[in-house]
Amino acid sequence: MCSSDLPMKKMILTVTALLTTALTAPFVFAAGDAAAGQAKTAMCAGCHGADGNSAMATFPKLAGQGEKYLTKQLQDIKAGNRVIPEMTGMLSNASEQDMQDMAAYYASKTIQMAGAKETDLDLGERIYRGGNIETGVPACTGCHSPAGNGNNPAGYPALGGQFAEYTAKQLRAFRTGVHDPDNSAARTNDGDSQIMRGVAAQMNDVEIEAVANFIAGLK
């Protein structure tokens, strides 16, 4: 085996192990109450829209996102493990039940597709569906599904239809988290496996923009 094949093999083994764990481990997760969550998300509507469909690419669409993933993000934001300046203090008084209810509400909604631009779609699709064997980037489909629906039991987020600008920003944030984790722009809440940091570290800006754009059109 060539030495250049090792990063790709290591990443594939990591992704395979994560998927195996997700599919075989006991699933313990308390589902929230979507009806109760509607009132609790009133303060979020200004940025994310009343039904989780943000009108501005600055803020992500939350509609249709996996409940388990959303709950974890809310927990991480409250605990300071994911820093979002616009949300500082907003979850200080939120209980675990509150966050589960909020996540359930958004998960019950349908995303309004952002849509892709006719720019580098071929490159974006190649990376999303096949990865980049030369740099060790695995296919995104392994965790996020061919249609971008994610894997809710495993806590892997849905990506399809999300604003390209937001997806690209998160990939760059994960990449920054590898080399400069204390940077305010870094994101490091992908767990001990550091799977997203490992993926993003191998991607250049052109690839990030291309795959983010392709994802925006997935449905």
Same domain for 72 and 180? no
16 with 68, same domain: the answer is: no
Shared domain check, 129 and 210: yes
If pLDDT is split at 50, 70 and 90, which confidence band does 219 have? confident
Q: Which of 32, 119, 42, 16 is nearest to 67 (CA)?
A: 32
Which residue, of 58, 88, 107, is where some domain finishes? 107
On whether residue 178 sits in a domain, the answer given is yes
Domain co-membership, 196 together with 142: yes
Give the pLDDT confidence score for residue 31 in this predicted structure: 86
- The β-bridge partners of 151 are 156
Number of H helices, E strands in the chain: 10, 0
Question: Helix or strand or coil: residue 80?
Answer: coil
State yes or no: pLDDT of 35 exceeds 60: yes
Give domain status of residue 93, yes or no.
Answer: yes
Q: 93 and 177 share a domain?
A: no
Q: Report the pLDDT value the prediction gives residue 15, as an integer from 0 to 100.
A: 54
Query: Which of these ranges, 8-12, 39-43, 125-129, 177-181, has the smallest mean pLDDT?
Result: 8-12
The residue-averaged pLDDT of 13-22 equals 49
pLDDT of residue 185: 95
65 domain-assigned: yes
> Which of 107, 127, 151 lies at the terminal end of a domain, its last residue?
107
Residue 126 lies in a domain: yes
> Whole-model pTM above 0.95?
no
- Note whether residue 202 is domain-resident: yes
| Model pLDDT for residues 100-148, shown as the tens digit of each residue | 999 999 999 999 999 999 999 999 999 999 999 999 999 999 999 999 9
**Are 124 and 160 in a shared domain?**
yes
Distance CA 118, CA 123 (A): 11
Tell me: do 118 and 212 sit in the same domain.
Answer: yes
Q: Is the C-alpha dihedral spanning 198, 29, 22, 167 positive or negative?
A: negative
CA atoms of 98 and 100, how far apart (whole Å): 6
Position 162 in a domain: yes
- Residue where one domain finishes, among candidates 107, 130, 145: 107
Number of domains the chain contains: 2
Report if residue 29 sits inside a domain: no
Task: Give pLDDT tens digits for 52-73.
Answer: 999 999 999 999 999 999 999 9
Structure token digits, residue 2 = 């060539």
Average pLDDT, the chain: 90
Give the structural domain span for 99: 34-107
Residues 62 and 15 in one domain: no
* CATH number of the domain to which 12 belongs: 1.10.760.10
Q: Are residues 141 and 86 in the same domain?
A: no
SS3 at position 29: coil
Distance CA 164, CA 53 (A): 14
Based on the domain organization, do 65 and 136 belong to the same domain?
A: no
Q: Are residues 60 and 89 located together in one domain of the fold? A: yes
In this predicted structure, what is the pLDDT of residue 21?
Answer: 47
Same domain, 135 and 179: yes
pLDDT at 165 exceeding the cut of 50: yes
